[in-house]
Amino acid sequence: MGVCDTMQAETLYQWLKDVATRYREHVALVSHEAAARREWTYLAFVEAVERAAGGLQALGYGRGQALAVWLPNTVEWLVMEFAGAMLGLLVVPLNTRYRAHELGHLLRLSRARGLVFMPRFLNIDFAGILEEVLSEDGSELALEHVFVTGTDPSAVRVGSPAKPVAVHALGEVLAGRPAEEEAFPHDLVNVFGTSGTTSAPKLAAHDQASIVRHAEAMARAFALGEGERTLGLLPFCGVYGFCAAFSVLAAGGTLIPVPAFDARRVAALMADESVTFQPMSHIMLRQILDLEDFDFARLRSWTRGTYATLNRPQELAERAFRTIGVRLTNVYGSSEAFAMMTHWPWDDPLEQRSLPGGHVVSDDIRVRAVDLGTGAVLPPRVSGEIQLQGYNVLTQYLGNPNATAEAFTPDGWFRTGDQGYVLDDRTFVLENRLKDTIRLRGFLVSPTEIEEFLLQHPAVEMAQVVGVNLRPEEDDVAVAFVKRKPGQETTEEALRLFCKERLASFKLPSRFVFVEEYPMTPSANGDKVQKVKLREWARAILTGAEPSAVTKVVP
């Protein structure tokens, strides 16, 4: 039996159990850890989920509470995702690149009672980062338990007498007695971080039924079957990696989580595991295609894949087909509306499949373009803001009713903040990102978040961050223009270290430029910084242009 055609509202646990009933002894998950390869069938996967849910239940976890998962891509990540869902918990995936600033904010916002994490990974001291958060923000957190994997829990010291936190081995939770489900289809279950114009990441929340519907819709739209084999390359904590994983599970395929990306090791693993369908970022794809002395004939099983980019997408798809023989389709998505929510049919010409945008994956999703000034609905092929309706649109921004209200039009359409044109009410082409966000090392980042973080430095009076795209095939480069407080001194290196210690590495600006004043535009609502002019300055600085191209910059 293929993908279920008559999907009723289901919980994630009910859905996974249905999938396991269809595919039983088929291999669901494969791990490569400590030089050992291990397989889980769908039935074994469900059993692990039930036991993990029982372990949480024994500690008093129940419907409506929150559990944060701060792990790289592992089988444990997926087990805890479904175990939390089974109990009706809100699962809060955290990026392993987050540092104390982001971690503290999201733990406060989500009110997470538990945190699953690996104390050390890739030479990063996650336990130390957590201890820093607890020492500064402990009284503001709801955190009561941490569950550690990969080490003896007695070696982990977190919390204080003022904020006691119990430390448990994750293995003890995974060995619990099977639980009974507590969840309902419309319980909020997952949040995904999103960057907009606010000072810190918002959390776009989705319910269980919506995730189930989207998993099934993706499997149908991308014509996935039980023979699919896919590496979990994109971080499960992000909406693209999450959706890619769920699309393969919906089809009864095999998912192989990969904790960290290294192009050569990944290419070899794709060959060894006979990967057939592979979603990835355009940067990952380029790094694989750039490998020297690799026998790409080993990847002949890889026939289809997805990527997402506005930067020379046709050239990348042509190169991948020429080098490997893989058909790629450009996809669209967001934290608010799920990733892989569009596709182009596999038999479309390459020029069509490489266009950003595509057909929505379900007839229950609708799309329109509206005039950027008047909001009037536009006819096909006229450029405007893309807006969406459908099951895939977020239920709310967690704890932020004002942002939730502002995200929708009076007639109930979600404002994507992206520019493009529709071909019909199920198909569109993306042209540009309208939101004031920048893409750094594969992640969309709010400049305002970095700016407000820099204001915490005692010498910084004001900060403005812009992104510049120097090469079409690469992501943006961030430059911070900083105005120092009168009588205060700091250096570019000091600010770099300040950010490095507290911010995710991908958010670190490449340059910190000191200014006496900013280029301003008078406005009835107050003078505004000309970020267009700052981008010109940033480009001149990064490309080594003549000093005359930049003004008001302190030598």
Q: What does the pLDDT look like over 36-94, one tens digit per residue?
A: 999 999 999 999 999 999 999 999 999 999 999 999 999 999 999 999 999 999 999 99
Q: What is the pTM of this model?
A: 0.84
DSSP 451-493: HHHHTTSTTEEEEEEEEE-SSTTS--EEEEEEEEPTT----HH
The per-residue pLDDT for 198 is 41
Q: Which CATH number fits the domain 364-435, given the four candidates 3.40.50.300, 2.130.10.10, 3.10.130.10, 2.30.38.10? A: 2.30.38.10
Q: What is the SS3 assignment for 504?
A: coil
Residues 6+ apart with CB under 8 A from 179: 50, 51, 53, 54, 56, 57, 83, 86, 87
Classify residue 25 by burial, with Cβ atoms within 10 Å: 0-12, 13-18, 19+. Answer: exposed
pLDDT in tens, 228-240: 999 999 999 999 9
- pLDDT less than 70: residues of the chain: 1-9, 160-162, 195-200, 435-436, 521-528, 546-555
DSSP 511-545: EEEEBSS--EE--TT--EE-HHHHHHHHHHHHHT-
The per-residue pLDDT for 555 is 59
What is the distance between the alpha carbons of residues 480 and 299, in angstroms, rounded to a whole number? 42
Amino acid at 161: P
| CATH number belonging to domain 43-203 | 3.40.50.980
The per-residue pLDDT for 434 is 72
Domain range summary for the chain, segments of one domain joined by +: 43-203, 287-362, 364-435, 438-549
Torsion region of 358: left, alpha or beta (phi above 0 gives left; psi -120 to 50 gives alpha): left
Residue with tokens 């900060």: 463
What contacts 24+ positions apart, CB below 8 Å, involve 156-164?
A: 156/119, 156/127, 157/127, 157/131, 158/127, 158/130, 158/131, 158/134, 159/134, 160/134, 160/135, 162/138, 163/134, 163/138, 163/139
Q: Which phi and psi angles does 489 have, rounded to 5°?
A: -125, 145
The per-residue pLDDT for 364 is 96
The per-residue pLDDT for 480 is 95
- Cα distances (angstroms) measured from residue 478 to each of 12, 286, 511, 514, 538: 39, 21, 7, 14, 8
The per-residue pLDDT for 157 is 77
Mean pLDDT of the chain: 90
- Cα distances (angstroms) measured from residue 202 to each of 193, 389, 395: 6, 20, 13
Class in CATH terms, 438-549: alpha beta
- Cα distances (angstroms) measured from residue 515 to each of 453, 509, 511, 549: 18, 16, 13, 14
Residues 6+ apart with CB under 8 A from 446: 195, 196, 197, 198, 199, 200, 201, 436, 437
What is the distance between the alpha carbons of residues 93 and 167, in angstroms, rounded to a whole number? 19
Amino acid at 551: T
